[in-house]
A and B are shown apart, each in its own frame.
Chain A
Amino acid sequence: MSKLSAEPRELVGGAARRERLRRSRLYLVTDDTTPSEDLPGLLAAALRGGVDLVQLRRKGVPPDQLMALAATCREVCHAAGALFLVDDHVELAAAAGADGVHLGQEDTSVAEARSRLGPDFLIGLSTHDAAQVKSATSLDLDYIAAGPVHRTPTKMGTPAVGFEHVEAAARAAAVPVVAIGGLSLADAGTAIAAGADIVAVVRAICASSDPEEAARALRGQVDTAPAWSWIELNGEARKCPPQATVQGLLAGLHLDPTGLVVERNGVIVDRQLWAEVAVGAGDTLELVHFVGGG
């Protein structure tokens, strides 16, 4: 169990929450079918198995009826050193002492949630296409969820977007990307390889006869898949795929290389070497070009 479990909750500010989010890998979103009284036990098992981020989602239940359940779930998560978020209900998140809120495209806006919650709460946002990711990059949020990867009973009306959307989000976002939507043990690693930082599941754990073992197996897949690395690109946090080169990174960003100059860790990379020079974890890249000036 994480040593963070001993940390008093009062000391967990926004920075500490974001640091934990950066290290999170497996995200459990609760289903609508598990009875409320069984949920704390399910969560505890999943947390033992390696879940480090939980979202309480109960579609159709008014927030005032979720208060007691949310408070219990929060206690279970925090005791395990995991982050606890609430779906959609900003006030419930604050009242239940959650670490943040997850918003859909049709829910409260990110700006409004931020102004109501303040800077210390985590805010995540669902995205279903490139345009939504793009508008999300200018918002004050903490992670972007990309999905549904597959068609799921949870999101009946939403077409599956596949791993392509996960990859597009991973390339564009300066915050962690959560892959979600019908992911299972069979393709949790694929989601990580596509650029997700975190894999979110519902049924893969909730519908399992052994949630702890299901979580442990998923966590094993997530931890051993080839993960993308965080780099600093023109002062922004960005990710690059494993074994990336300067050339590959530029291509992935769909940037016009004409007139572009690349500096990696303070040293200019000759254009002739773009295809050979590797880019990886912790690298600082500057991409500059000519603009108007006097």
Chain B
Amino acid sequence: MPDQDGLHLGAVKLTSRLIHGTGKFPSSEVLAGSITASGAQMITLAVRRLHLDGDHHSELEGIDLGGYILLPNTAGATSADEAVRLARLARAAGLSDFIKVEIVGDSESLLPDPIATVEATARLVAEGFTVLPYASDDVVLALRLAEAGATAVMPGAAPIGSTLGVLNPHNLRLIIAKCPVPVIVDAGLGCPSDAARVMEWGAAGVLVNTGIAKAREPAAMARAFAAAVQAGRSAHLAGLAGRPEGFGASSPQAGTPAPLAPN
């Protein structure tokens, strides 16, 4: 059952809410089969140096990039400057104005640098990109990214490539509830039920790479993720019976000094 309530991102409308990553696949053929099986319309890509000897074949060979909405990333960047440069290089290929800002702040865990991500998002929005920043699962950060002009925010469920699933469900649900722009859960989704779960909460979509690429049968797993995303979306639209969330300040709300007048 195709999704009737498509996801609007910038100038495009996605009817599939599963975004398909293209890294780590064993071959170009397996990747192509997986993308087709997933029904995804949007795929992610990275920007890298061309091998000068002409011997190395890209895993993207044999995939008609024109047939998809491309979401290039800035993977490899560790600063806002590097991310902006990679974004410009990606756009210069002439295939997409979308950019997934990805700025690693810790080289071991690959967790994103929130401060540089906000800066790069603002700069790239000013340059006319449609910006989807990958971010840590922090509620206020998501709000700041939306304020900076992000078209959607992409909080991670768990570190990139970890397939650990949703590590902080409470935060993700809060982000989904409060963020004024679509929330696409990226990174760490290991199995279809992880994807179904965040979609039930109201995530606008999910981005899956390792969970599919490293499955024994990637195409079959892509199909399973697609079904899970649809099921989760349908459940969200149907309205969950609900588990109320409660939170309250530990410190008194009243009695804080009056805000200072601006100088």
Q: A293 contacts which of B75, B88, B94 (Cβ < 8 Å)?
A: B75
Residue pair A291, B60 in contact (C-beta under 8 Å): yes
Which chain B residues (2-54) contact chain A, with CB distance < 8 Å?
A: 21-25, 31, 44-50, 52-54
Residue pair B21, A293 in contact (C-beta under 8 Å): yes
Q: A290 contacts which of B45, B53, B187 (Cβ < 8 Å)?
A: B45
- Interface status of A3 (Cβ within 8 A of chain B): no
Contact with B along A109-139 (1 / 0, CB 8 A): 0000000000000000000000000100100
Given contact pairs A291-B46, A293-B46, A134 touches B58 in the complex (Cβ within 8 A): no
Instruction: Determine the residue in chain B with the shortest Cβ distance to A171.
Output: B52
A253 to B22, CA, bound (A): 28
What chain B residues lie within 8 Å of A266 (beta carbons)?
85
Given contact pairs A259-B65, A292-B31, A293-B21, A253 touches B60 in the complex (Cβ within 8 A): no
A260-B93, A261-B90, A289-B58 known; 10 new pairs, CB 8 Å cut-off, are A255-B50, A259-B95, A288-B48, A288-B49, A290-B58, A291-B46, A292-B45, A294-B21, A294-B24, A294-B73
- Interface status of B138 (Cβ within 8 A of chain A): no
Residue pair A255, B73 in contact (C-beta under 8 Å): no
Size class of the contact patch on chain B: 35 or more
Among the 9-residue stretches A75-83, A176-184, A229-237, the one with 4 or more Cβ atoms under 8 Å from chain B is A229-237
What chain A residues lie within 8 Å of B53 (beta carbons)?
134, 137, 172
User: How many contacting A-B pairs (Cβ < 8 A)?
Assistant: 103
What chain A residues lie within 8 Å of B54 (beta carbons)?
253-256
- Interface status of B92 (Cβ within 8 A of chain A): yes
What chain B residues lie within 8 Å of A260 (beta carbons)?
50, 93
Which chain B residues (46-97) contact chain A, with CB distance < 8 Å?
A: 46-50, 52-54, 58-60, 65, 70, 72-73, 75, 85, 88-90, 92-95
- Interface status of A263 (Cβ within 8 A of chain B): yes
Residue pair A294, B93 in contact (C-beta under 8 Å): no
- Interface status of A287 (Cβ within 8 A of chain B): yes
- Interface status of B157 (Cβ within 8 A of chain A): no
Q: A294 contacts which of B31, B44, B70, B89 (Cβ < 8 Å)?
A: B44
Majority secondary structure, A binding face: mixed
Residue pair B50, A234 in contact (C-beta under 8 Å): yes
Q: B207 contacts which of A236, A270, A292, A294 (Cβ < 8 Å)?
A: A294
Residue pair A292, B59 in contact (C-beta under 8 Å): yes
| Residue among A137, A261, A286 with most chain B CB within 10 A | A261
Q: B52 contacts which of A236, A259, A271, A294 (Cβ < 8 Å)?
A: A236
Residue pair A235, B31 in contact (C-beta under 8 Å): no
Nearest 9 A-B pairs (CB), nearest first? Answer: A293-B46, A294-B209, A294-B21, A292-B22, A292-B59, A290-B45, A234-B49, A261-B92, A287-B50
A294 to B44, CA, bound (A): 6
Q: A259 contacts which of B59, B93, B187 (Cβ < 8 Å)?
A: B93
A259 to B63, CA, bound (A): 13
Residue pair A234, B52 in contact (C-beta under 8 Å): yes
Residue pair B58, A291 in contact (C-beta under 8 Å): yes
- Interface status of A12 (Cβ within 8 A of chain B): no
What chain B residues lie within 8 Å of A287 (beta carbons)?
49-50, 52
Closest CB in chain A relative to B75 CB, distance in Å? 5
Residue pair B45, A291 in contact (C-beta under 8 Å): yes
Closest CB in chain A relative to B53 CB, distance in Å? 7
Which chain A residues (252-294) contact chain B, with CB distance < 8 Å?
A: 253-256, 259-261, 263, 266, 268, 270-271, 286-294
A-B contact pairs, 13 of them (CB 8 A): A235-B49, A255-B50, A259-B65, A291-B46, A292-B22, A292-B23, A292-B24, A292-B25, A292-B59, A293-B21, A293-B72, A294-B46, A294-B207
Given contact pairs A233-B52, A260-B50, A292 touches B60 in the complex (Cβ within 8 A): yes
